Amino acid sequence: MSAYQENFFSRGPSALARLTFFSLVAIAIMIADHRFQALAFVRLGVSVVLTPIEQLLMLPGKLVQRASLHFADQNRLVAENTALKAQVLELSAGHQQAQLIRAERKYFESLGDANKRLGDRGLVAEIIRDARNPFVRKVILDKGSSHGLRPGLAVIDGNGVIGQLTAVGVLTSEVTLSTEKDQSIPVMGLRNGLRAIAVGSGRDGTIDIPFIPVGADIQAGDALVTSGIDGTYPAGLSVATVMNVDRNPAFQFAKVSAKPVAGTDQQRFVKVLTHEELKDYPRPDVKPDDGKPVRERVVPKRREIR
């Protein structure tokens, strides 16, 4: 065995001694840093080196967090959008209903103000449908004889005369429009009081004014109102406005066409006038077979229907 063989374990300070030494050094460094900020530059340098590494290590977690927030926000936005659409639809329906109610209220006010002279002598009815025959100009109301209606009563809207009741059932009634063929209304011109008969043309929704002499004072734009001489339509109700006057010297009468001021295609509700008929008015003498003149029996006045 060689005398110069080195020892397998080198000997040095003991572990306790090294622990004590490094502990004292650490305490001294801490005291120096606390009292004199001796390690400020060291910390600054270490932070410069470690900050990029820290951010690089935190990047996957941030990406995952942002992705989860993105999908969560997207789902939340989709849910909010769906709720807002439903709310918009609900508010839109309510707004449309409110518009309809305001329009109907305004129309009822105009219906009442159209003829203040008539007072409350009328019954408001709703147009439920047109007549089954598409070639006639008639409409069906939701009021009938059970509501006190009878044939012959005048029907108006907020603008003027629509027509006349021609058939009355128990719960419904039929209105023949003023534009129906051969439907006649005694009228007069507001401008000069010219009396005439307005007859439905049965076409184009217009009204003809027949038997007007060529030299009569009538012109386009004249307003025609009911004259009230027939005992059915109260005087002063607006009927039509003259559109065209064709005076041909070759004919005895002028060709006059007018446009009705009222129309069922514009309104939903109408008013049936339940006014009293005219009182005893003169009737023509009727000669019976024996040749003796006999005064026609006067129809007694009917009670007002409310």
End-to-end CA distance of the chain: 145
For residues 182 and 228, what is the distance between their CA atoms, to the nearest angstrom? Answer: 19
**What is the pTM for the complete model shown?**
0.55
User: What string of H, E and C letters represents the secondary structure of 170-234?
Assistant: CCCEEEEECCCCCCEEEEEECCCCCEEEEEECCCCCCEECCCEECCCCCCCCCEEEECCCCCCCC
Classify domain 122-273 by CATH architecture: Beta Barrel (2.40)
Looking at residue 242, what is its pLDDT?
94
Using the predicted structure, report yes or no on whether residue 76 has a pLDDT greater than 70. yes
Q: What is the pLDDT of residues 82-116, one digit of tens each?
A: 888 787 777 766 666 676 677 667 766 665 555 45
Domain ranges of the chain: 15-113, 122-273
Per-residue model confidence as pLDDT tens digits over 277-289? 444 444 444 455 5
Identify the three-state secondary structure at position 244.
strand
- What one-letter code names the amino acid at 278? L
Q: Residue 194: which residues within 8 A CB-CB, separation 6 or more?
A: 188, 216, 217, 218
Residues 6+ apart with CB under 8 A from 278: 228, 231
Is the CB of residue 197 less than 8 Å from the CB of residue 245?
Answer: no
